[in-house]
């Protein structure tokens, strides 16, 4: 198992997200947490399907100088793309309402980019999940936003919350990716990273 490969190496999750902490913990890996200091704004002209990877790498590089030899740093960023539009992480109610109205009754892509970094190398990958929403009426949108306040979430929703049970008709791909960390893929990529 991966813990055998990790002996003598510290794992650091560069994220304050409670969802990412919970998901990484499910792999039975001991880890510490560090806060990245990057802006989460992609450079101009970044391709939509590379935004999450680009931000994940910026997060990693904001922490990497503090790594000790042998440490493995994990950072991630999740984006929601509807059509050709990168959906925001809403900072106010009107933005959250706009996100859910746009996603209602349609499909969207959720891409999580992940960076694995140590003092010698970097490895980037991303995972994509398609999410299909039923129509969400304005009463349900208001209820969800007022009760759950999804202001830190890509696309203005958390699939593991009330709105996910109500609105998600189906998904194609990894459920945990939509929560913010594709743990199945991460496990495989960590093994490759450690042994390369």
User: Cβ contacts of residue 127 below 8 Å, gap of 6+?
Assistant: 111, 112, 114, 173, 174, 177, 182, 185
Bridge partner residues of 116 (DSSP): 74, 123
Active site members: 77
- CATH number at 133 reads 3.90.950.10
State the Cα–Cα distance between residues 132 and 168, nearest whole angstrom. Answer: 6
Q: What's the mean pLDDT in 106-125?
A: 97
Range of the domain at 7: 2-195
How many structural domains is the chain composed of?
Answer: 1
Q: What is the pLDDT of residue 1?
A: 63
* Structure tokens, 111: 């891409």
pLDDT in tens, 46-77: 899 999 999 999 999 999 999 999 999 999 99
């Amino acid at each position: 198992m991966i813990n055998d490969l990790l002996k003598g190496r510290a794992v650091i999750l560069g994220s304050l997200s409670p969802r990412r902490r919970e998901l990484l913990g499910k792999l039975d890996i001991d880890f510490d947490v560090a806060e990245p200091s990057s802006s989460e704004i992609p450079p101009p002209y970044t391709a939509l399907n590379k935004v999450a990877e680009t931000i994940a790498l910026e997060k990693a590089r904001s922490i990497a100088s503090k790594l000790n030899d042998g440490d493995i740093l994990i950072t991630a960023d999740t984006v929601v793309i509807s059509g050709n539009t990168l959906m925001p992480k809403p900072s106010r109610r009107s933005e959250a309402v706009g996100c859910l109205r746009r996603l209602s009754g349609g499909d969207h892509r959720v891409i999580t980019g992940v960076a694995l970094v140590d003092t010698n190398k970097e490895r980037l990958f991303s995972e994509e999940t398609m999410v299909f929403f039923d129509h969400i009426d304005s009463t349900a949108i208001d209820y969800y936003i007022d009760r759950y306040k999804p202001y830190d979430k890509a696309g203005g929703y958390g699939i593991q919350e009330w709105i996910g049970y109500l609105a998600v008709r189906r998904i194609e791909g990894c459920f945990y990716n939509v929560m913010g960390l594709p743990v199945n893929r991460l496990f495989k990529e960590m093994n490759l990273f450690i042994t390369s």
